[in-house]
Amino acid sequence: GAVVSQHPSRVICKSGTSVKIECRSLDFQATTMFWYRQFPKQSLMLMATSNEGSKATYEQGVEKDKFLINHASLTLSTLTVTSAHPEDSSFYICSARDRIVHEQYFGPGTRLTVT
Amino acid sequence: AQSVTQLDSHVSVSEGTPVLLRCNYSSSYSPSLFWYVQHPNKGLQLLLKYTSAATLVKGINGFEAEFKKSETSFHLTKPSAHMSDAAEYFCVVSLYGGSQGNLIFGKGTKLSVKP
């Protein structure tokens, strides 16, 4: 079956530093990937839609300069949290949409803790 | 606009008894609807999906859901709960129909299973 990986699975960083999270589709190609964040005991909120070879589309209220998204290939999208602050601590989940069958598959998530 | 409402934030059942997790949706289009399960600190797993075929959808682990257009509902059921079913469940509607579109998540229902 289709597998999406995320790396790292958990990361702790200091306030003011930047963190990069990778999302990879392992056995299929994805022209579109999605980034979500999930606060404790809450639902997933879509942050942005990442399209291969073009700029990401951000949801209202999401700072594009703070959450940098790069989708340079059909199997990799990265989310960089710049100048992280404690309020950015969250569970970040990506999904990738298979360009042939158009199904979305979710990664296992990355838990970010900013101290 | 598409939206989804999960009517119960928390459901508690005894092992071996039926499970009912309720979901109502609002959609301007013929919707695609999904149920996902999330175990603690884990990614999302697709339980089942409705994409305008049979209204009674069977999923994994004995779960099923029935699409009722007249009631705008897509409730998730299982005849007999197992301890391993304890998790967070999300009802999801797809924008523009099909899994091609962006996904809108409900707030989630936490299922507890008592021995």
DSSP state of B41: T
Residue A28 pLDDT exceeds 70: yes
Q: Using CB atoms within 10 A of its CB, is residue B94 exposed (0-12), middle (13-18) or buried (19+)?
A: buried
Give the pLDDT mean for A11-34: 95
| φ and ψ at residue B99, rounded to 5 degrees | -80, 5
| Whether the bond into B79 is cis, omega within 30 of 0 | no
β pairing state of B56-58 and B44-50: unpaired
Residue A53 pLDDT exceeds 90: no
DSSP state of A59: P
pLDDT at B44: 87
For chain A, give the mean pLDDT.
92
pLDDT at B85: 96
Positions in chain B short of pLDDT 50: 98-100
- The 10 Å Cβ neighbour count of residue B105 is 21
Closest Cβ opposite residue B99 in set A6, A103, A111: A103
pLDDT at A52: 86
Sign of CA dihedral A38, A43, A47, A50: positive
pLDDT at B96: 60
Among A32, A44, A46, A41, residue whose Cα is nearest residue A4: A32
Closest Cβ opposite residue B99 in set A42, A44, A102: A102
pLDDT in tens, A57-111: 999 999 999 999 999 899 999 999 999 999 999 999 999 998 888 788 899 999 9
B108: chain A residues, CB-CB within 8 Å: 42-43
